[in-house]
Amino acid sequence: MGESSDDVRALRWEPGCLQVLDQRDLPARETWLKLGSAAAVATAIREMAVRGAPAIGIAAAYGVVLSTLAQANLPESERLSVIHAEIETLASSRPTAVNLSWALRRMRRCVDRNMGEPTAVLAEADAILAEDLTQNRQMADLGAALIEPGSAVLTHCNTGSLATGGHGTALGVIRTAWRGRRVSRVFATETRPWLQGARLTVWELARDAIPVTLITDSAAAVTLRDAAIRWVIVGADRIAANGDVANKIGTYALAVLARQHGARLMVVAPSGTVDMALAYGADIPIENREPAEVWKAASSMPPPAGVTVRNPAFDVTPAALVDALVTERGVIEKPDADSMARVFASRQ
């Protein structure tokens, strides 16, 4: 059994520039974008060149660094005003992933403490990146320990190194479980309409020589029935105070199917994804994206007159369908408002 290389990184900082591995081009080619402004980072997030809740937060943190560099020669009051405005631009780039707002609140506090001094702000962004990688490895150990040796698992969207600072959340659990001989095979959904599973998850797993079978989204039910899958393992973009989980569209359907077919649902996300200010999943804002994304995946022709498209990027899975919530703070089995409060009451 080969060792997981975990050498994929979606983000690289170099002096005055954030380099982003453009995930829209994978797996056909590896294109690195060089982003020199906060506005460019916001565009890359909005247009999904960088994606995955933790990676979005990290990229935005470096976007703040770029803002401080651009405004370094302005008078202090004007400098802070412009940086604050660019932080708001970054915050509006994608509304559902709470890691984005969490990282930007932390960066704004650092900006204000240090009057926008770039070196201090860069150190804070570096710390967010390093902490994410550490948390991912902690969660991977915790989640892998829940998996029975020799299990087949199913995952949705992309939750690996491309979506984080490294190793991954749900895919990090799978990587670690594979090394520990707990996972025998991974089934990955396409994840329409952007095909993050087909383009990104399969690419990551293949690089690590982890056996993976790609399935269409519509084949999930029959695969859960026939393949003796023990766990459905997913990430999250926001988790409410009662344990409801917002994640990539299709997660709710997989949770229902898992319950029907005797598989368990594991949600893997750092504590930065938990939003204790929102009581229920129904309160989570769901991003609705352009209809063209769906139609482009179906046909190169424009839709017939009168056809409308619904394109929510996320759905909400009720806490009652979650068997295990794994964060770096530990494992919460069957999360609810009480267990969430015990673990996250002190979260700012």
Residues with a known catalytic role: 237
Q: Are 27 and 203 in contact (CB under 8 A)?
A: yes
Residue 178: both structure tokens together: 């594979």
C-alpha angle 89/245/137, rounded to 5°?
A: 85
Residues 202, 188: Cα–Cα separation, whole Å: 7
162-194 core/surface letters (b: 16 or more CB in 10 A; e: else): bbbbbbbbbbbbbbbbbbeebbebbbbbbbbbb
Q: Is 215 left (phi over 0), alpha (psi -120 to 50) or beta?
A: beta
Q: Are 220 and 257 in contact (CB under 8 A)?
A: yes
Backbone angles phi, psi at 327, to 5 degrees: -125, 175
